[in-house]
Amino acid sequence: MAEAAKKKFDVYQHVTDTILAEIEKGCVPWRKPWSGARTGLALPKRVTGDTYRGINVLMLWLTAATKGYASPTWMTYRQAQELGGQVRKGEKSATVVKFGSVEKDVQDSVTGDSDTVKRLYARAYSVFNTDQIDGLPEEWYVRPEPAQDRGTAADPILDAWFAAMGVPTQQTDEPAAYYVPSEDRIHMPKLGTFESREAFYATLAHEMAHATMHPKRLDRQHEGRTREERYAKEEVVGLS
């Protein structure tokens, strides 16, 4: 058997790696104070209508935000087929985790006494968002919110202050705010789509704080034994 096949899937490491991958890309979209967001923060749901709980909520929020899914419902490949749908070719599944426990009778090798022991387990399985599936009845889909121009106006003084920082900043129709360290640039949604002027400049300030890590500015290098520690410290900087 190949070595890759012998390696057991580590559910906990998968969760950690997924979250860190999104942090590395820029601002994780816990809240988006602008219109035209590809996804909302509706709780992810199973095909039964029940909502996911715990770490699965975070994992599916991250996947939906990254991929641009608007629908909150997720289902397995088989469930999609049973509803008359078909997962599109090439679509990648998301991983969710089922936590549970099993009871097992264990016998003491010395005394011969038996006792019931409860053992916890975490089992991973794959699901698809309904946006990845064709042929489902229309009620399974949620159409994304179109961007709205709320008429939010710029502040010339703040614009001049941020421009003096020297970080290339662009506004496009992409509904996401983030700093790209490898390119030393900030991306912002268009000013007019923000719910207020304050929300726009607060978001820009958060991304500008991350930009101070660049070698030609503060050249910040976080200490930490693991990359989890280093990235956690960087997010604290962004919130300061």
pLDDT tens digit sequence for 119-165:
877 788 999 999 999 999 999 998 767 778 889 999 999 999 999 99
| Ranges in the chain annotated CATH 1.10.10 | 146-240
Q: How confident is the model at residue 17 (pLDDT cuts 50, 70, 90)?
A: confident
- Residue 232, pLDDT above cutoff 70: no
pLDDT tens digit sequence for 66-84:
787 888 999 999 999 999 9
110 or 215, greater pLDDT: 215
What pLDDT score was predicted for residue 221?
A: 73
- Residue 6, pLDDT above cutoff 60: no
87 or 101, greater pLDDT: 87
What pLDDT score was predicted for residue 226?
A: 60
Highest average pLDDT, of 1-10, 30-39, 188-197, 208-217, comes from: 188-197
What pLDDT score was predicted for residue 233?
A: 60
Q: DSSP label at 57?
A: H
- For 10, 86, 230, the CA distances from 234, given in Å and listed in that order, are 26, 41, 6
What pLDDT score was predicted for residue 208?
A: 92
Beta strand pairing status for 178-180 and 86-87?
unpaired
Q: Which residues of 197-223 are buried (b: 16+ CB within 10 A; e: fewer)?
A: eeebbebbebbbbbbebeeeeeeeeee
The two three-digit tokens of residue 156, written as one number: 């010339």
What pLDDT score was predicted for residue 94?
A: 92
Q: What percent of the chain has pLDDT over 70?
A: 77
Region 158-181: what's the mean pLDDT?
91
What pLDDT score was predicted for residue 225?
A: 56
Q: Which residues of 109-134 are buried (b: 16+ CB within 10 A; e: fewer)?
A: eeeeeeeeeeeeeeeeeebbbbbbbe
240 or 9, greater pLDDT: 9
- Residue 234, pLDDT above cutoff 70: no
Q: CATH class for domain 146-240?
A: mainly alpha
| CA nearest neighbour of 26 among 214, 179, 168 | 179
The two three-digit tokens of residue 197, written as one number: 């002027």
Of 4-18, 164-178, 182-196, the one with minimum mean pLDDT is 4-18
Q: How confident is the model at residue 4 (pLDDT cuts 50, 70, 90)?
A: very low
